[in-house]
């Protein structure tokens, strides 16, 4: 699936949520995610190599964890992200397969996340990343074959600016310090 993704460090979580509430949009319940990021040997930023992410997700303490494998590939020259996700039943076996394919563990990212479905394949996520100060918001918008990447990215920027935010972040959480 092709997506355009824009991330922003929030100046104020409360103000951001208040602006969304003014237009009758509210985030869902908080859930926890933990990602283990694996990179191929010889990985260099900007060369469009894929990342594999093993995700553990807990929606509620009384429900079992969900495991999934994400293949993420950012195509630098187009600004498009290719994202494929599949459910995993045996976490340990999948990690073994990833390692056998020559990927190496690079980073771990834990977050508390709230989601908001904007419709038409567009989601806003509110993230509190462990070991990073402040809150982040991320908008992901699925692209159809006829969509312009440039226009889609401009729309996401306009959405953030309408919500009073413009501190855009290009790095993945796993590369932020």
List pLDDT tens digits, range 116-160. Answer: 999 889 999 999 999 999 999 999 999 988 888 889 999 999 999
What pLDDT, on the 0 to 100 scale, is given for residue 52? 97
Check which CATH number belongs to the domain holding 113 and give it.
2.40.320.10
Of 38, 42, 20, the C-alpha closest to 106 is 38
What pLDDT does residue 77 have?
72
Q: What would the DSSP string read from start to end of 52-66?
A: EEEEEEES-TTS--E
- Check: pTM over 0.85? Answer yes or no: yes
pLDDT at 45: 81
Q: What is the pLDDT of residue 157?
A: 95
Instruction: Find the distance separating the first CA and the last CA of the chain, reported in whole Å.
Output: 29
- pLDDT on residue 13: 96
Which structural domain range is residue 10 located in?
2-175
Q: What is the pLDDT of residues 102-114, one digit of tens each?
A: 999 999 999 999 9
pLDDT above 70 coverage of the chain, percent: 100
Dihedral sign from CA coordinates of 13, 129, 110, 98? positive
Compute the distance between CA of residue 114 and CA of residue 122 in angstroms, rounded to an integer.
14
Domains of the chain: total: 1
45 vs 124, which has greater pLDDT?
124
What pLDDT band is residue 58 in, cutting at 50, 70 and 90? very high
- 1-22 pLDDT, tens digit each: 899 999 999 999 999 999 999 9
- How far apart CA 142 and CA 1 sit, in angstroms, is 7
Average pLDDT score over residue span 33-61: 92
Computed over every residue of the chain, the mean pLDDT equals 93
């Amino acid at each position: 699936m092709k997506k355009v993704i824009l991330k922003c460090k929030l100046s104020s979580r409360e103000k951001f949520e208040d602006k969304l509430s003014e237009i009758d949009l509210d985030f869902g319940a908080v859930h926890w995610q933990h990602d283990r990021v694996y990179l191929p040997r010889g990985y260099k930023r900007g060369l469009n190599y894929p990342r594999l992410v093993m995700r553990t997700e807990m929606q509620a303490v009384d429900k079992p964890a969900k495991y999934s494998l994400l293949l993420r590939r950012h195509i630098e020259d187009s600004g498009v992200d290719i994202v494929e996700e599949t459910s995993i039943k045996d976490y340990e076996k999948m990690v073994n397969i990833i390692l056998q394919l020559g990927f190496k563990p690079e980073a771990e990212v834990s977050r508390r996340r709230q989601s908001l479905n904007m419709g038409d394949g567009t989601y806003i996520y509110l993230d509190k990343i462990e070991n990073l100060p402040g809150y982040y918001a991320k908008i992901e918008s699925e692209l159809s074959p006829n969509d312009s990447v440039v226009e889609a990215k401009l729309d996401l920027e306009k959405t953030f600016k309408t919500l009073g935010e413009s501190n855009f972040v290009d790095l993945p959480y796993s590369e932020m310090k």
